[in-house]
Amino acid sequence: MNLTQNNAPVYEALKKHMRNRVVRLDVPGHKGGRMNKELRDFLGVDCLKCDVNSMKPLDNLCHPVSVIKDAEMLAAEAFGAKHAFFIVNGTTAAVQTMIFTSCKAGDKIIMPRNVHRSAINALVVCGAIPVYVNPGTNKQLGIPLGMSVKDVEKAIKENPDAKAVLVNNPTYYGICSDIKSIVKLAHEHGMLVLADEAHGTHLYFGEGLPCSAMAAGADMAAVSIHKTGGSLTQSSLLLCADTVSEGYVRQIINLTQTTSGSYLLMVSLDLARKNLALNGKELFKKAVDYADYAREEINKIGGYYAFGRELENGDDIFAFDSTKLSVHTRAMGLAGVEVYDILRDDYDIQIEFGDIGNILAIVSAGDRELEIERFISALSEIKRLYSKDPSGMFDHEYINPIVEIPPQQAFYSEKKSVPIEESNGMICGEFVMCYPPGIPILAPGEKITSDILNYIAYCKEKGCFLTGTEDLEINNINVVVNS
């Protein structure tokens, strides 16, 4: 059978399986929902019937030989990769697989410090050593940017034994580094390029958007299809070029990925890929149009700054992802997280996140014009009701880290718990981060400074959701003994 992008092999196999009326003497124990009628009625009978176990007609995610293999082949073709792997442990698993594939204990990896926690978690597990490239910082917006090519080149020349360079493409805010130039540099020095494209699915299908990692020649890319591609939450793709071994990557995935792959997640990846391959250009044009319209209207309100491609400077803001509706709020005296809370509590509008100076709304073709208008109107009313003098507000959210010892060594060292306000000058033994976006304020092995402590206190005061510490109240922090 000749497969095309019109096919969806997992979906087609599941439909055939459902028609067979197979007697369910395997797991899952809910038996198509009959064991738990409340769950069946809530999620729908078809959903529960599709929640099945691996079997010969449906293939096996750990070692695919039929329909999953076909679906992954079609995904690779659609995304311009040599290989694609279905990931059901979230893009966290894809990011960690990239690092585990390219690095062993003691190996160096060059990366921006504003990476997602999943990347630093990978270092804790495998023992690789980070060489951080501090991102640029926009003084007006206070946000971390991309990596400058000259800073990456400096890191490569100073660490010629590094195994890989990791690139955010794009950042949470929509900022892209010059990934093509970074790929060229890294490959000239024998290093792999890994791309965290958790927020970049649309780069593969939209027109006029920044370059995707595979198009730039990267070796591996972790792509959150569920974020902007239309699949179910926790489903993702890992894309690879022919520079890495398909079999070895599969072995690495199978170290941590579940042996009970969810067919609900896999069929959503299969159908999302089909939809993107056939309709992606049109879908992402609609998303850009919505975001561009909202940017223009929000900037008419005053007080807010919905930033876009005007920021591009050919360096640490090499390109901007115009599907991202990022809005600066600090100029009207409100932290982004305060606007986030007001939107949800008073206007029933749930946006992606708010930090100390900005908010991010995720816009897709699944939105409606009325909802975009409602968001714009709510921001206008919030400005009228809540704006105040911005003096005394934090003007930046990124603080350059001081790395004293590697993350793995710090995390597994002897530690003691101390009141966080008494930890100045000590070495952190755990994570502290605001979630979302999940970029660590402190990572294991980094020196705790007064600037960082002031920032954490400010985040607490403004209502940011802080995570990562053993103490769920974030009153105490684990520090390395004898630090």
Secondary structure, 3-state, the chain: CCCCCCCCHHHHHHHHHHHCCCCCCCCCCCHHHCCCHHHHHHHCHHHHHHCCCCEHHHECCCCCCCHHHHHHHHHHHHHCCCEEEEECCHHHHHHHHHHHHHCCCCCEEEEECCCCHHHHHHHHHHCCEEEEECCCECCCCCCECCCCHHHHHHHHHHCCCCCEEEEECCCCCCEECCHHHHHHHHHHCCCEEEEEECCCHHHHCCCCCCCCHHHHCCCEEEECHHHHCCCCCCCEEEEECCCCCHHHHHHHHHHHCCCCCCHHHHHHHHHHHHHHHHHHHHHHHHHHHHHHHHHHHHHHHCCCEECCHHHCCCCCCCEECCCEEEEECHHHCCCHHHHHHHHHHHHCCCCCEECCCEEEEECCCCCCHHHHHHHHHHHHHHHHHHCCCCCCCCCCCCCCCCECCCHHHHHCCCEEEEEHHHCCCCEECCCEEECCCCCEEECCCEECCHHHHHHHHHHHHHCCCEECCCCCCCCEEEEECCC
Residue 327 maps to a domain: yes
**Are 379 and 418 in the same domain?**
no
Q: Among 354, 386, 418, identify where a domain stops.
A: 386
Q: Among 386, 421, 442, identify where a domain stops.
A: 386
**Are 450 and 356 in the same domain?**
no
Residue 128 maps to a domain: no
Q: Among 386, 415, 434, identify where a domain stops.
A: 386
In this prediction the pTM is 0.94
Q: What is the pLDDT of residues 28-42, one digit of tens each?
A: 999 999 999 999 999
**Are 295 and 349 in the same domain?**
yes
- Domain containing 451 equals 407-480
Residues in the chain: 483
Please state the separation of Cα 112 from the chain's center in Å. 14
Residue 189 maps to a domain: no
**Are 285 and 382 in the same domain?**
yes
Residue 471 maps to a domain: yes
pLDDT at residue 397, rounded to an integer: 63
Low-confidence ranges of the chain (pLDDT < 70): 1, 395-398, 483
pLDDT at residue 330, rounded to an integer: 92
- CATH at residue 437: 3.90.105.10
Number of domains in the chain: 2
Residue 463 maps to a domain: yes
**Are 301 and 364 in the same domain?**
yes
**Are 284 and 341 in the same domain?**
yes
**Are 376 and 423 in the same domain?**
no
Using only C-alpha atoms, the chain has a radius of gyration, in whole angstroms, of: 23
**Are 431 and 358 in the same domain?**
no
Q: What is the pLDDT of residues 351-394, one digit of tens each?
A: 999 988 999 999 999 999 999 999 999 999 999 999 998 877 77
**Are 298 and 365 in the same domain?**
yes
Residue 303 maps to a domain: yes
Nearest to 465 by CA among 418, 443, 432: 432
**Are 298 and 334 in the same domain?**
yes
Residue 467 maps to a domain: yes
Residue 361 maps to a domain: yes
